[in-house]
A and B are shown apart, each in its own frame.
Chain A
Amino acid sequence: MLDLTPEQQALREMVHSFAQDVVAPGAAERDKTGEFPLAIMKQMGELGLLGLPFSEDEGGTGGGYVSYAIAVEEITRACASTGITYAANLSLGISPIYLFGTKEQKAKYLPHLFQGDYLASFGLTEPEAGSDAGGTRTRARRTEGGWILNGSKCFITNASYAGVVTTTALTDPEKKTKGISAFLVEQGTPGFSVNTPYDKLGLSASNTTELVFEDAQIPEENLLGTKENVGFKQFLEVLDGGRISIGAMGVGLAQAALDAALKYAKERKQFGKTLSSFQAIQFKLADMATQVQLSRLAVWNAARLKDAHKPFSQAAAIGKLHASETAVKCALEAIQIHGGYGYMKDYPVERYLRDAKLLEIGEGTSEIQRLVIARSLGCA
């Protein structure tokens, strides 16, 4: 494995202990009840994990993206619902403000976000605009001293607990994707409401919402950044960073599946021998370990490039694609190794499968990742 710096190593140990002691014990229960891990997010704020990848100049903790990928992996390994809550809060919620916010916008929100006083959220997907963001219908009309927003967003993570939601809307419909702008919509804005209508396959304790804008009044100063019609470019950049964290979630879930399968294979006896003494099972475990390691390296590679301010879009897409598909495959193999028990909710592996599937869909489906990679190869 690539060498980590002493700080990254220390961080890994800290997050691992925190995740196993504090996050893991309630994971199965949260999966059942759907209880949002709000207390855990507050604790993560106290530990400085909510500012992890962001620079110290902006009030973050300056750990960089490799450290962040490590944290997302370890949290997800303990509980994927908590993992996505954390990853979406940072990559999608905080990042747009951190990357494009004005001085005033950063000063207003970032300290609270790093502290965990409230979460942040990112409203991009719409009923008619999933992979095709060009289909955005939400409309922002200029008024005196601001904008009026109308439209709706779907599948938005964390918005019930978000103090501020970055939302994309058409400011100049004629220009299509070049007419999209991003706005900072605060909780409690008149005409803005958050609903939770979804019943999901997995990630039950993650907060997935629908945003509705009915003549929502957005003040002048809440245009993200200083320029109109640059929303499309902004969110592409946000999504690139987000892919690293979804990749890291894939690594964490795949590792969790391997951990569970290995433990079970060493304990469970059939024909008078442990499962782990059968070559058929050994090969499954070896293949899982190989794919977990490759996924981790691919994700860390993208994180390293980002930390070095080098182009990382292709690397992030490769990492996300491989790690999310590995998570699904490893969860399936872990169930297979558990046999009939793996199909039961008494063991965690069926949850891993339900949780892992989202990773092949969220923040760009596997098909979109392949398109991004193909384009980076020069395919037209």
Chain B
Amino acid sequence: MNVVVCLKQTFDTEAKIVLDAQGKVDANGVNLIINPYDEYAIEEGIRLKEKFGGEVTVVSMGGAKVAEALRTALAMGADKAIAIQDPASYGSDEYVTAQVLAKALKEVPFDVILSGRIAIDDGSSQVAVRLAEQLGIPSVTSIMTLSVEGNKAVVTRDIDGGMETVEITLPAVLTAQKGLNEPRYPSVAGIMKAKKKEFKTFTLKDLGMDHGDAGFAGAKMKLDSISLPAPRQAGRVIQGEPVQAVSELVRVLMDEAKVI
């Protein structure tokens, strides 16, 4: 069974988001990690390989440090990595990203494509399902369990207030929800071996795409502006005897905060 895992490199969950003078998110000094939901996808891909044989190929389009994320996936146990690295890809939306990934996977054999159900940075949850459309294969999102038999997979997916069991014919795209598995730590041997594994880097041109097809130029969606949430106001302590304090609290909630 051959598995492809699409992953995204995102800010560390503890990173402080700062906007620069141009109003863009400032990535300076921010620690980058593999999108946590994509880690579940990597782990599931490796488990499929351990059970059925075959290879796991990890693929990512990203910035200058994307190789680090892919190397971590190799250290966990993936076999091959494909990086799409091109300054012209900067500003790509989900539509473009799915197109690029589909082209990068042209020569890669797969039975299952796994990805996280959402990226913790832009939170769009679109790339994996768009990729399935591009490839003309079915997709199931937000899976909690996966069992494969022959060319069929039975998955349970996390839906509002319950679980849904779905049978799907492979090849298919599946996106991982938290709880699918417990991602492993890369072992020392895995880290040492990672550098000897096949690692391909493509530019957009290598994939037969023009610069006009990707990045800001190719995006269907134009990003207007980014703003940070308004800082939380300091709280206020109402002093006095309970009876007076409660009346004052009610007055403040009605007249000032206008919440009742």
Contacts and interface: CB of A to CB of B under 8 A. Distances in A.
Given A7-B192, A61-B192, A47 B187 contact: yes
A68 to B, nearest CB: 10
Nearest to B190: A48
Interface of A: 6-7, 9-11, 13-14, 17-18, 46-49, 51-52, 56, 61-63, 67
A14 B75 contact: yes
Given A7-B191, A10-B194, 8 more contacts: A6-B71, A7-B194, A10-B68, A10-B72, A10-B75, A11-B188, A48-B187, A48-B188
B21 interface: no
Interface in B162-182: none
B228 interface: no
A86 to B, nearest CB: 13
B71 A10 contact: yes
Contacts, number: 45
B90 interface: no
Contact of B192 (A47, A49, A63): A63
Nearest to A17: B185
28 contacts: A6-B68, A6-B71, A7-B194, A7-B195, A10-B68, A10-B71, A10-B72, A10-B75, A10-B186, A10-B194, A11-B191, A14-B185, A14-B186, A14-B188, A14-B191, A17-B185, A18-B185, A46-B187, A48-B187, A48-B189, A48-B190, A51-B188, A61-B192, A62-B192, A63-B188, A63-B191, A63-B192, A67-B188
Interface in B190-209: 190-192, 194-195
Contacts of B72: 10, 13
Contacts of A7: 191-192, 194-195
Contacts of A51: 188
Nearest to B33: A13
A194 to B, nearest CB: 30
Given A7-B192, A63-B192, A47 B75 contact: no
Interface of B: 68, 71-72, 75, 185-192, 194-195
Q: Which among A9, A10, A14, A63 has the greatest number of chain B C-beta atoms within 10 A?
A: A10
Contacts of B186: 10, 14
A323 to B, nearest CB: 23
A319 B72 CA distance: 31
Nearest to A46: B187
Q: Which among B72, B185, B195 has the greatest number of chain A C-beta atoms within 10 A?
A: B185
A270 to B, nearest CB: 17
Contacts of B190: 48
A42 to B, nearest CB: 14
Contacts of A56: 192
A52 to B, nearest CB: 6
Given A6-B68, A10-B75, A61 B188 contact: yes
Q: Which among B185, B188, B190 has the greatest number of chain A C-beta atoms within 10 A?
A: B188
Nearest to A52: B188
Contact of B185 (A9, A47, A62, A67): A47
Nearest to A6: B71
B199 to A, nearest CB: 11
Contacts of B68: 6, 9-10
When A and B form their complex, which 3 residue pairs have the shortest distance between CB atoms, in order from nearest?
A: A48-B188, A61-B188, A48-B187
A34 B72 CA distance: 35
A49 to B, nearest CB: 6
Nearest to A61: B188
A63 B190 CA distance: 11
Contacts of B194: 7, 10
A340 to B, nearest CB: 24
Nearest to B184: A47
B178 to A, nearest CB: 15
B189 to A, nearest CB: 5
B32 to A, nearest CB: 11
